[in-house]
Amino acid sequence: MSLPPFSCRILAAAVALYLTGLLCLGAGEAPSKDAAAPKIPGCSNEYQMVKVEHWVNGENGEDFSGMTAQFGAVLPSDKDKAVRLPVVLTTPLNSCSNLTSKLSGSIALSVRGECTFTAKAQVAQAGGAAALVLINDKEELDEMACTEGETPLSLTIPVLMITTSSGDALKKSLMANKKVELLLYAPKSPVVDYAVAFLWLMSVGTVFIASVWSHCTGPKENDDEYNELSPKKSSVDGATKDATKDDDETLDISATGAVIFVISASTFLVLLFFFMSSWFILILTVFFCIGGMQGMHNIIYTLITMRCNKCGRKTVKVPLFGNVTILSLMVLLFCFVVAVVWFINRKTSYAWAGQDIFGICLMINVLQVARLPNIRVATILLCCAFFYDIFWVFLSPLIFKQSVMIAVARGSKDTGESIPMLLRFPRLSDPWGGYNMIGFGDILFPGLLICFIFRDDRENNKGVVKGYFPWLMFGYGLGLFLTYLGLYLMNGHGQPALLYLVPCTLGITVILGLVRKELRDLWNYGTQEPSASDVNPSPGA
């Protein structure tokens, strides 16, 4: 007996499917861009994220970030074109009146407050400064926008803001009569990072493994040698027993359930958008840990018992669970430790690896339990998810002023907590870091269809040539490729992956079914009653 029982496994997988499917997040996104302000002469309406390298008495210190204003000169994106300049603390420090400090050819360092940003920039430029760096009064980078009535056409120096901790460190060094130098440049993020190839491989690999998992790990007819001594049962009894066992371990999705699920997902997404808080995300993270721990347990336990049948026979009595195999208990404790370690370190730079492992295990487990009964239900579910994805990525900004799905995916800026129901991979070629990501729903929804097609191919012995499974795997990979192509063409704005995945999977199934004249069988699969000759074969058969 494994832990937990199958009834608990179905319940946990259903909860996991609900939670993960709610967030059918777009596959990838560029760094956030704020809405452009009204056009004002002299304002570029574009903010630049700035890399700031600094030296104190010739020793290179740790780099930090800044953000330019909507006015002033644009910084070079190439580090080789940037100029290393000395820094001078303005006098007065707020740079709101004529300066007494000598700024010629230097970077002016000032503080925020008492006058407008453009007024500070004009004073610094009049004093001969090559650039103005403003120290914010908090650990954030606020926008320095133009205001109505200002026409800063004469501003020709770069103006940028840095955080209070970075600014205080520079100011402290200057007040100690140390020589401080800065190098300012604004590297651009690539629209699509080449690391998406790894995300593509993880997504396609998860769907493939989940599809063939039962076939590869299921018991073979000759595995249990002791069954040779047991009484033989009729084929009808054996088929009935297998069907009953399969029903106990799986959960078929109905057409009504598919519609209700998508409506519930929309409702939950809106609640997350309006009431997102650290404790709410924390609850979702705990559910994610439970689902991932269970998925990892099932995978490890299955792989071990495949190699060693006798390992899963010794049992021990556990309160609340009854008799449990020792192997299952040991694997569960291991998974629990892994889950706790990841939960504690979930905000670290390497936490994405543990999140991906847990997520993949969870999705493989869900795809073994939740199943589509036929193409009719698959069409209803995937079409609803198709329009759901498009609405919450593209159309929701018209109502909520921003994409609800992308906002939820980014999580809370204040606490650093984010929704864990997605696969992440670091942006390797992006100087600003960040992650490429794909929501669990973009794997689970097409995965349900592909798993059904694999089962149908096996039951009807269609093979590779006449089967649908190879075509759907190709279609899923193509759909993800088109998603990232759309991400590139739309300059990094989040893409609803199901916009491409549904036509490339469900569309291929329907077209092949029509060409092969098998669509009716796939559409009504499992709803046709077996004939009397199938149940009670004649003696001469």
Q: Read out DSSP for 429-485? A: T-TT--EEEEETHHHHHHHHHHHHHHHHHHHTT-HHHH-SHHHHHHHHHHHHHHHHH
Q: Which residue has the tokens 């592909």?
A: 450
Q: How many residues does the chain have?
A: 541
Q: List C-alpha distances in Å: 520 to 376, 428, 464.
A: 10, 47, 21
Strands 322-325 and 315-318: antiparallel
Nearest 5°: the CA angle 408, 412, 416 is: 130
DSSP three-state, residue 410: helix
What gap in Å lies between CA 186 and CA 76, rounded to an integer?
A: 6
Q: Is residue 148 helix, strand or coil?
A: coil
Tokens of 332: 């569960």
Buried/exposed 166-199: b ≥16 CB within 10 Å, e otherwise = bbebbbebbeeeeebbbbbbbbebbebbebbebb
As a whole number of angstroms, the distance between CA 66 and CA 505 comes to: 44
Catalytic residues: 389, 442
CA distances from 161 to 41, 65, 117 (A): 21, 9, 10
Neighbours of 328 (CB within 10 A): 25
Rounded CA-CA distance 197/202 in Å is 9
Q: Name 21's Cβ contacts closer than 8 Å, sequence gap at least 6.
A: 261, 265, 385, 440, 441, 444, 445
Taking alpha carbons only, the member of 132, 131, 102, 101 closest to residue 116 is 132
Q: Establish whether the linkage from the previous residue to 38 is cis, with ω within 30° of 0.
A: no
